[in-house]
């Protein structure tokens, strides 16, 4: 049937329309650099480039002809002005024009020691310091060890809000550029992340080679740190991307907002440790696992700008947080605490805290 259908020239029944997307626009010295991708089903040939409806000379690398999913760089020599709006247009050989609006031109970031140090300092501010503040509650939480189920459920509430909030942003992001069936890509990555962390969890339990009751607190703390680390990596990519695009107001909002959220993430990491003897080495390891991915995320987002990459990274974070929620919920259910009053209050309070931190900015 496949061979038979392949011999039917269905393309003769209509005219396939080209479809391209302008993925990125970089403003360099006396030049505008455009990254374009063919997301249609037929090859295309770009023949005209324009800026603000004025045709400009352009150099297209590696070729003007793009096969499906192929990308090209369009170099337009142009003396642009910072902070001014521009509309970039590309026209194919059959006369169809595609455009991208830039509300405010901003010089693209170039890797340099000063810029790298600045982005690293932002990563420390967003990913390290807030988690340290959250972990500082550990001594007080150990004194309230009888409320262990409450703190675990509080963690579930905190993480549940993060999952819902991030998922909404993730699907909004996927709607801006649908190349690889982004919605299904998101769900696939989330499921693969959950299965992967499940396998990693069992490997860690096997390495400890002790009774589960003794290893559960530290393993749970480690898995929460890994999950939050993936999530913070996605947060870092979002911050770096906003800086890369010159959206300084959005970048400032994300930096302050994520910093506040990460304080509660420090509390989430500290919760399982209330049943363990406090060891500075263990706390430092969990801090590095959960906090340092923010730095790498900001560096990647600051010097690259890929919508598909952002979707993949943020989906990894959502999947890891979901697995942490499932792990804690399983423990509460195993100990017949899932419907306990403390658990209900803890989940509700956790979501309320996250909601308040999301609107105070």
Q: What's residue 88's pLDDT?
A: 93
pLDDT score, position 250: 57
| Residue 356: both structure tokens together | 């308040």
Whether 321 contacts 159, CB under 8 Å: yes
Beta bridge partners of 38: 20
Q: What is the pTM of this model?
A: 0.73
Q: Sort 253 into a burial class: Cβ within 10 Å, 0-12 / 13-18 / 19+.
A: middle
Both tokens assigned to 236: 């870092």
Distance CA 5, CA 16 (A): 18
Residues 275, 290: Cα–Cα separation, whole Å: 20
Give the Cα separation of 142 and 215 in Å (integer): 17
Chain mean position to CA 105: 24
Dig out the tokens for 321 from the structure: 């947080």
Closest CA to 60 of 85, 42, 37: 37
Here the tokens at position 48 are 């005209």
Is residue 233 within 8 Å of 250, Cβ to Cβ?
no
Q: Where are the beta strands (DSSP E) in 128-214?
A: none
Domains in the chain: ranges and CATH: 7-102 (2.60.40), 113-359 (no CATH)
Phi, psi (rounded to 5 degrees) for 64: -70, -25
The pair of structure tokens assigned to 302 is: 């600051």
- Rounded Cα distance between 305 and 242, Å, is 9
Residue 79: its pLDDT value, please?
A: 92
Q: pLDDT truncated to tens, each residue of the chain (361 aa)? A: 777 766 665 555 666 778 888 888 888 888 999 989 888 888 999 999 999 999 999 999 999 999 988 889 999 999 999 889 999 999 998 889 999 888 888 887 777 888 889 889 989 998 899 889 888 878 877 776 656 677 778 878 888 888 888 888 888 877 766 666 778 888 999 999 999 888 887 777 776 655 554 556 777 788 888 888 888 888 888 888 777 766 665 566 667 777 777 777 787 788 777 766 767 888 888 899 989 999 998 898 888 767 777 788 888 888 888 888 888 888 778 777 777 788 888 888 888 887 887 776 5
- Return the DSSP state at 8: S
H/E run at residue 230: helix 212-244
Question: In which residue are the tokens 């709607």 written?
Answer: 175
Q: Which of 178, 149, 112 is nearest to 350 (CA)?
A: 149
């Amino acid at each position: 049937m496949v061979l038979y259908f392949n011999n039917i020239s269905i393309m003769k029944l209509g005219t396939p329309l080209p479809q391209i997307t302008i993925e990125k626009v970089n403003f360099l010295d006396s030049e505008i650099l455009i990254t374009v991708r063919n997301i249609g089903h037929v090859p295309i040939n770009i023949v005209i480039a324009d800026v603000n409806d004025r045709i400009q000379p352009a150099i297209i690398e590696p070729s003007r002809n793009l096969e499906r999913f192929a990308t090209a760089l369009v170099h337009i020599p142009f003396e642009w002005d910072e902070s001014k709006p521009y509309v970039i247009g590309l026209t194919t050989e059959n006369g169809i024009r595609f455009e991208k609006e830039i509300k405010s031109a901003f010089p693209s970031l170039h890797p340099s020691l000063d810029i790298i140090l600045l982005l690293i300092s932002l990563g420390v501010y967003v990913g390290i310091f807030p988690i340290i503040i959250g972990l500082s509650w550990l001594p007080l939480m150990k004194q309230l060890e009888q409320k262990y189920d409450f703190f675990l459920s509080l963690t579930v509430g905190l993480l549940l809000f993060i999952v819902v909030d991030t998922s909404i942003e993730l699907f909004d992001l996927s709607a801006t550029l649908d190349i690889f069936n982004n919605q299904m890509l998101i769900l696939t990555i989330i499921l693969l992340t959950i299965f992967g962390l499940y396998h990693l969890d069992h490997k860690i339990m096997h390495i400890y080679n002790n009774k589960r009751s003794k290893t559960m607190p530290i393993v749970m703390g480690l898995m929460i740190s890994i999950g939050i680390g993936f999530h913070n990596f996605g947060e870092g990519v979002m911050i770096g991307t906003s800086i890369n695009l010159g959206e300084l107001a959005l970048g400032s909002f994300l930096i302050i907002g994520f910093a506040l959220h990460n304080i509660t993430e420090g509390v989430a990491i500290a919760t399982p440790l209330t049943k363990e003897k406090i060891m500075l080495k263990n706390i430092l390891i969990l801090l590095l696992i959960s906090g340092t991915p923010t730095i790498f995320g900001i560096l990647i987002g600051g010097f690259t700008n890929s919508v598909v990459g952002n979707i993949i990274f943020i989906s990894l974070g959502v999947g890891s947080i979901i697995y942490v929620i499932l792990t804690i919920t399983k423990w509460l259910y195993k100990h017949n605490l899932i419907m306990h009053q403390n658990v209900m209050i803890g989940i509700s309070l956790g979501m309320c805290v996250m909601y308040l931190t999301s609107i105070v900015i």
